[in-house]
Each structure stands twice: as structure tokens, then as C-alpha cells.
Amino acid sequence: MAVMQATLPRRILSTPTAGPLAALILACAFFAFKSDQFLTGGNFSLIIQQVMVVGTLAIGQTLIILTAGIDLSNGAIMAFGGIVMTKLAVENGLPPLLAIAAGLAVCAAFGLANGLLVMKINLPPFIVTLGMLNVVFALTHIYSQDQTVTNLPPAMTFLGQTFRVGGTNVTYGSLLTILLFLLFAYLLSQTAWGRHVYALGNSPEVARLTGIRTRRLIVGVYTLAGLVYGIAALLLVSRTGVGDPQAGQTDNLDSITAVVLGGTSLFGGRGTVLGTLIGALIVGVFRNGLQLMGVPSIYQTLITGILVILAVTVDQLSRRRTR
């Protein structure tokens, strides 16, 4: 019994989310000390609203990074999905639900294309998604003619509406984001599919030899990630109330930042979706707290970059220790 009690704290501290969670708590404590406005329900609701789009993108990014891949095109895919949804509904008169479904399908199709290029042609994920970033970025501007889509039907902005919880306004989009994190946390930790994703990231060859259909799994992961990017597009549209062709230009890097800060290894096979949620909150808390302190936005970017480098350094050192 004494041995079990002694090893329990070690197991907790060795989990990938322990470090990020401690960093989040310390950041909250620091900014609460610096600003009286930080520890309010309205401010926390605002933080969740600010990170829900990037956080949702980061779910798909987590799936791909767990397989030892990376996706630089997710922000562009999200922007294109948002333009497809809004233009079909506003300019073509398509019912909002069908327009949303079409946008989700387009995003999933781009994810499928990424997966096929990675596995069937055996191209590096970095090169594939870098190329897809430019392709989708160009298509977004060609299709939208660089025009913002406005006057959206109410059904497309429903997730931006709020309900009250203990006197605090919470958006339906924030609730959907949290549910998505819980869903994918369950899928990765409690299903055979999730175990296969981790096995693939740890060693593709060993995974193949154990009977996992690795090529099909990779394509499926990229396709599912594309669908998640479509949901992020809907969240973005509902929050801003427009279809913006300029959206998402740095969200690919922000999503990678959230994944890395959440303890997921860039080398694949290790990490959690809940860790990614913590990573997204760390970014949101730092930006919100620094803004409340009156720190210029350029320094917020500087501090975020330093945090990413520190997180990757810790990951690299932990990998060396386990070898």
C-alpha cells in the first residue's frame, strides 16, 4: 500500500498533461494577481470564445501530429470552408443546413486529398500540406473574389448566440468546442481506433506488422481532421457573422502551438486531446492576461514563441531520457 501511495504522485507527474496543466494554473495565478478583471466569469467566457476556433483546429492537428505528421493547411481549409458555406447560403439561396453540410464536405475532401498524397504517393506531410496551403489559399480568393460575405441567415450564426450560466454569458460555440474535445478524448483513449493512431505514431512498421492497416488509417485521420476543420469554419462564421476570405492565415501555426504546449510530441505517438485543450487555454490566457496588463500585442507573440520553443525542448529532452 505504501509503495502504491508513493508511486501515484509519480504517475500523475509523468502524464503528458501534468506540465501544461501546472503552467496554466501558474499563468492564471500570475494574471489574477496583476489584474482584478482576470478572475471573472465574463473574462473566462471571453477566453474560451477567443480560443474555440483555434482549439477546434488543434483537435484535427493533434490527430495528425499523433501519427508523426503535420498539417500547415488547416487554417486555409477552414477559411475556404467558411466561404463555401456562406456563399452557397447567401448568393445561391441554398438552405443553411445544406450549405453548412457542403462546407463540411469540402473541408473533409481537402483532408482526404492530403491523406492520399501522403500515403499513396509517399510525400512528406510537411511538403504536402505546405503545397495544399497555397492551393486552398488561392482557391479561397478566386472563389470569393476577395469579397466578404455578409447578411448571413440566422441558422449560420446560431453557435455565436449565448446562454447564461450563473450570470455569465456562454456561447453555444464554446459548448460545442468542449464537447468535441471530450468526444475525441474518448475516441483516442477508449477505442481500438485511438490505440491504432498511437501505435502508428510510435512505429509505422511495427503497427503494420501487427495487422493495422496503416495506409487506410492515415487517410482516415487526415479526412477526419478535414471534417473538424469544417466545424472550425462554422464556429468562425458564427462568431464573426461573416464569411471572410482573409481568415485563418496564422491559425495553422496557432493550432500547432496549442498542440505542442499541450504536451503532444511532434515526433508522434504521445499526447492527448485534453492536453491540446490546455495548450489552447494557455495561449488564450497569456494573450488575454497580457492585454489586460496593457502589454503590446507584439510582445504577446514574442512570449508565445518562447513558450513553444521551451515546450519542444522539454519534449526532446524527455525523449532522450526514455531511450
Q: For residues 71-88, give the mean pLDDT.
A: 96
pLDDT, residue 80, reads 97
220/141 Cα distance (integer angstroms): 28
For residue 30, is it within any domain?
no
CA dihedral 104, 110, 113, 117 (to 10 degrees): -140
Closest CA to 53 of 222, 199, 213, 244: 244
- Comparing 213 with 303, which gets the higher pLDDT? 213
Q: For residues 206-222, give the mean pLDDT.
A: 92
For residue 13, is it within any domain?
no
Contact in structure between 248 and 75 (CB atoms under 8 Å) = yes
Q: Which of 102-116, 151-165, 294-308 has the lowest mean pLDDT?
A: 294-308
pLDDT, residue 4, reads 46
29/164 Cα distance (integer angstroms): 25
Q: What is the CA radius of gyration of the chain?
A: 20
Is residue 35 predicted with pLDDT exceeding 80? yes
Helices vs. strands in the chain: H and E counts, helices first: 13, 2
* Number of residues in the chain: 323
pLDDT, residue 311, reads 76
Q: For residues 82-98, give the mean pLDDT.
A: 94
271/66 Cα distance (integer angstroms): 7
Contact in structure between 36 and 293 (CB atoms under 8 Å) = no
DSSP bridge partners of 168: 165
pLDDT, residue 95, reads 95
Q: For residues 194-209, give the mean pLDDT.
A: 92
Closest CA to 71 of 270, 296, 189, 227: 227
For residue 234, is it within any domain?
yes
Q: Which of 1-15, 87-101, 220-234, 303-317 has the lowest mean pLDDT?
A: 1-15
Q: In sequence order, which residues have a C-beta less than 8 Å from that of residue 242 and are 6 or more positions away? A: 86, 148, 149, 150, 152
Is residue 149 predicted with pLDDT exceeding 80? yes
pLDDT, residue 180, reads 96
Quick check: pTM over 0.85? yes
* Averaged pLDDT of the chain: 89
Domain count, the chain: 1
User: What is the percent of the chain with per-residue pLDDT over 90, rounded to a whole number?
Assistant: 64
Is residue 3 predicted with pLDDT exceeding 50? no
Tens digits of residue pLDDT in 240-298: 999 999 998 889 989 999 999 898 988 888 899 999 999 999 999 999 999 999 888 88
pLDDT, residue 222, reads 97
CA dihedral 228, 234, 238, 240 (to 10 degrees): 90
Q: In sequence order, which residues have a C-beta less than 8 Å from that of residue 88 and are 6 or more positions away? A: 94, 98, 99, 102, 103
For residue 252, is it within any domain?
yes
Q: Which three cell numbers stand for residue 175?
A: 459548448
Beta-carbon count within 10 A of 290 CB: 19
pLDDT, residue 228, reads 97
For residue 4, is it within any domain?
no
CATH number at residue 260: 1.10.3470
For residue 52, is it within any domain?
yes
Beta-carbon count within 10 A of 94 CB: 17
Tens digits of residue pLDDT in 40-75: 888 999 999 989 999 999 999 999 999 999 999 999
For residue 181, is it within any domain?
yes
DSSP bridge partners of 162: 171
For residue 319, is it within any domain?
no
Q: Which three cell numbers stand for residue 13?
A: 507527474
Question: Side-chain half-sphere of 107: how many Cα atoms within 13 Å?
Answer: 32
List the domain range (segments joined by +) for residue 168.
40-311
Beta-carbon count within 10 A of 162 CB: 14
pLDDT band at 14 (very low <50, low <70, confident <90, very high): low
pLDDT band at 117 (very low <50, low <70, confident <90, very high): very high
pLDDT, residue 58, reads 96
SS3 category, 243: strand
